[in-house]
Structure 1
Amino acid sequence: MQLGYVTAILPELSLEEHLAFAAEVGYDCLEVMCWPPGKAERRYAGVTHIDISRLDEAGIEEIVDLQKKYGVSISSLGYYPNPLAADEAEAKVYTDHILALIDAAAALSINCVTTFVGRDKNRTIEEQWPRFLATWRPIVSYAEEKGVSIGIENCPMRFTKDEWPGGTNLAISPAVWERMWADIPNANWGLNYDPSHFILQHMDYTLPFRDYPERMIHVHAKDARIDVDKRNRHGVFSHPNLWHTPKIPGLGDVDWGRFVGYLRETGYDGAICVEVEDRTFEGDTELRKASLRQSYRHLRQFVG
C-alpha cells in the first residue's frame, strides 16, 4: 500500500510544491485535484493542481519527470462535481470534464480517476436510476477502453442547505453499490472508499472492503467524530453537522489499526490518501501542513 494525501487542502501550492512537501514528510503518493480553473462555492472544490485543458506533450513529460524527481507518484486525478445535477446542461459540463480527465489519466499513465456519480437531490433513487445509467454507462465504457479505473467516493453529500433533502451523491451504501455494479458490471469501476462516511451513517466501516475487495479502486483516510450527547439531543434525522465532525486520522472514531489490518487481509495494495476536512486545522498554510504531518505520523505505523 502507498500512503498519500489529497491536494485539495493546500490549494495555494503548485503541483511541484506538493510533490516536494510530500517527499519531505515521507508520503508515497498524491491524489491530485483537477477541477477546471475557476472559483467554486463548495469547500475544497474548484482546486486545480493539474489543468488538463492545457495538458500537452511537454506538460505530460514535465509531470512524469516531477514524480521521478521527488520520488512521489500520483495515485489518481480527482474531481468531485454532481454529474446528475437537475440542470442537464450543468451536468454535461461535469461529465465532459470527467471524460477529459479520463484522457489525461491515460496520457499520464496514472490510469485512475476519482469522483462522484452525482444525484438529483429532489428525486428518489428509483426516479433517477434511468438517467444514472444513461450517464454512467458510456463514461465507464470509455474509461475501460482507455485502460482507466474510476473510483466513486461514498460521501452522502448532505451537509449544506443546497444539498438537502436527498444529497448530491447516489453511491452511499452497499445496497446502491450492488445495484450500480449489477447494471454496469464493468470491472474498471468501483469505490474511492472513505470510512468516515460510514461513521456518519452508523455502519461498519470495515465491511465494504471485506465484502467487495475487487471494487476497491482507491481509499481515502478521513476520520469523523460523533458527539453522542448532541446526537441524543437532536436525533439521527437532524442535520448531521449538529452532531458529526470531520477529523484528521486518529482524532475521530475510526480505529485505523483495525481498518488497515482488515484492508491488508483483502489483498488491497493501492493508495490510502489522507483527506483533510478538519476545520481545526484550516487556519493557515502551516497549520494545514501540520495536519498532514500529524496524519502521516499516525497512519505510517499501520501503512508500512
Structure 2
Amino acid sequence: MQLGFVTAILPDYTLEEVLRTAADIGYDCVEAMCWPPGKAERRYAGVTHVDVSRLDEAGIAEVRALQEKYGVFISSLGYYPNPLGGAPESRQAAVDHLHRLIDASAALGINTVTTFVGRDKDRTIEAQWDDFLATWRPLVDHAAEKDVRIGIENCPMRFTADEWPGGNNLAVSPAVWERMWTDIPSPAWGLNYDPSHLVLMQMDYTRPFRDYPERMVHVHAKDLRIDRDKLDRHGVFSHPGQWHTPKLPGLGDVDWGQFFGHLTDAGYHGPVCVEVEDRAYEGSEELRLRSLRQSHDYLRQFIV
C-alpha cells in the first residue's frame, strides 16, 4: 500500500507545491482534485490541481515531470459532483467533466478516477434508478475503453439542509453497491472506500473490503467521532451534524490497526489517502499542514 492525501485541503497550492509538500512530509502519493475552475459549490469543492479542460501534450508532460521530480505519484484524479441531482444543465456539466477526467487519467497513465455517483435527494432510489443507469452506463463503458477504473466514494452526502431528505449520493450501502454492480457488471468501477461513513451509519466498517475485495479501487483515510450522549438525545434519524464530528485518523472511533489488518488480509495493495475534514485543523495554513504531518506520522506505522 501507499500513503497519500487528498489535495483539497491545500486549495491555494499549485500542483508543484502540493507534490513538494507531500515529498517533504514523506507521503507516497496524492489524490489530485480536478474540479472545473470556478466558484466552489460547497466546502472542499472547487479545488483544481490538474485542469483537465486544458490538458494538452505539454501539460501531460509537465504533470509527469513533476511527479518524477518529487518522487510522489498521483493516485487518482478526483472530482465529486452530483451527476444525478439539481438542474439538467448542472448534471450534464458534471457528466461531461467526468468524461474529460477519464480521458485525462488515461493520458497521464494514472488510470483511476474518484468521484460520487450522485443522487436526486427528493426521490427514492427506486424512482431514479433508470436515470442512474442512463447516466452511468456510458461513463463506465468509457472508462473500460480507456483502461481506467472509477472509484465511487460511499459518503451519504446528507449533512446540510440542502442535502435532505435523501442525500446527494446513491452509493451509501452494500445493498446499493451490489445492485449497481449487478446492473452495470463491469470491473471498470468499484469503491473509493471511506470507513468513516460506515461508522456514522452504525455499520461494520471492515466488512466492505472483506466482502468486495475486487471492488476496492481506492481508499480514503478519514476518522469520525460519534458523541454518544448527543446521539442518545437526538437519535439516528436526526441531522447527523448534531452528534458526529469528522476527525483526523487516530482521533475518532475507527480502530486503524484492525482496519489495516483486514485491508491487508483482503489483498489490497493500492493507495490510502488521508482526507482532512477536521475543522479543528482548518483555521490556518499551518494547521492544515500540521494535520497532514500528524496523519502521516500516525498512519505510517501501518503502511511500510
| TM-score (normalizing by structure 2) | 0.99
Equivalent residues, number: 304
Aligned pair 1:232/2:223, yes or no? no
Which residue in the other structure is 1:155 paired with?
155
In the aligned structure 1, how far is the partner of 2:129 from the partner of 2:24?
A: 45
> Secondary structure at 2:253's aligned position in 1?
coil
Which residue in the other structure is 1:297 paired with?
297
In the aligned structure 2, how far is the partner of 1:204 from the partner of 1:266?
A: 15
The percent of aligned pairs where both chains have the same amino acid is 72
In the aligned structure 2, how far is the partner of 1:99 from the partner of 1:85?
A: 18
In the aligned structure 1, how far is the partner of 2:43 from the partner of 2:225?
A: 19
Q: Give the drift of 1:122.
A: 0.1
In the aligned structure 2, how far is the partner of 1:101 from the partner of 1:85?
A: 20
Which residue in the other structure is 1:144 paired with?
144
In the aligned structure 2, how far is the partner of 1:205 from the partner of 1:10?
A: 28
- The residue type equivalent to 2:253 in the other structure is D
> Secondary structure at 2:89's aligned position in 1?
helix
In the aligned structure 1, how far is the partner of 2:284 from the partner of 2:170?
A: 33
1:191-214 superposed Cα distances (whole Å, 9 cap, x missing partner): 000000000000000000000000
Q: Give the drift of 1:188.
A: 1.1
The list of structure 1 runs, each at least 4 consecutive aligned residues, that deviate by more than 3 angstroms after superposition, is: none
- The residue type equivalent to 1:256 in the other structure is W
Q: Give unpaired runs (5+ residues) of structure 2.
A: none
In the aligned structure 2, how far is the partner of 1:89 from the partner of 1:74?
A: 30
1:64-114 superposed Cα distances (whole Å, 9 cap, x missing partner): 011011000000000000000142221000000000000000000000000
Which residue in the other structure is 1:3 paired with?
3
Which residue in the other structure is 1:272 paired with?
272
| TM-score (normalizing by structure 1) | 0.99
Q: Give the drift of 1:303.
A: 1.0
In the aligned structure 2, how far is the partner of 1:265 from the partner of 1:39?
A: 42
Q: Give the drift of 1:54.
A: 1.1
In the aligned structure 2, how far is the partner of 1:39 from the partner of 1:294?
A: 30
Q: Give unpaired runs (5+ residues) of structure 1.
A: none
> Secondary structure at 2:62's aligned position in 1?
helix
1:197-236 superposed Cα distances (whole Å, 9 cap, x missing partner): 0000000000000000000000000000000000001111
> Secondary structure at 1:82's aligned position in 2?
coil
Aligned pair 1:125/2:125, yes or no? yes
In the aligned structure 1, how far is the partner of 2:155 from the partner of 2:177?
A: 13
Which residue in the other structure is 2:134 paired with?
134
Aligned pair 1:194/2:207, yes or no? no
Which residue in the other structure is 2:43 paired with?
43
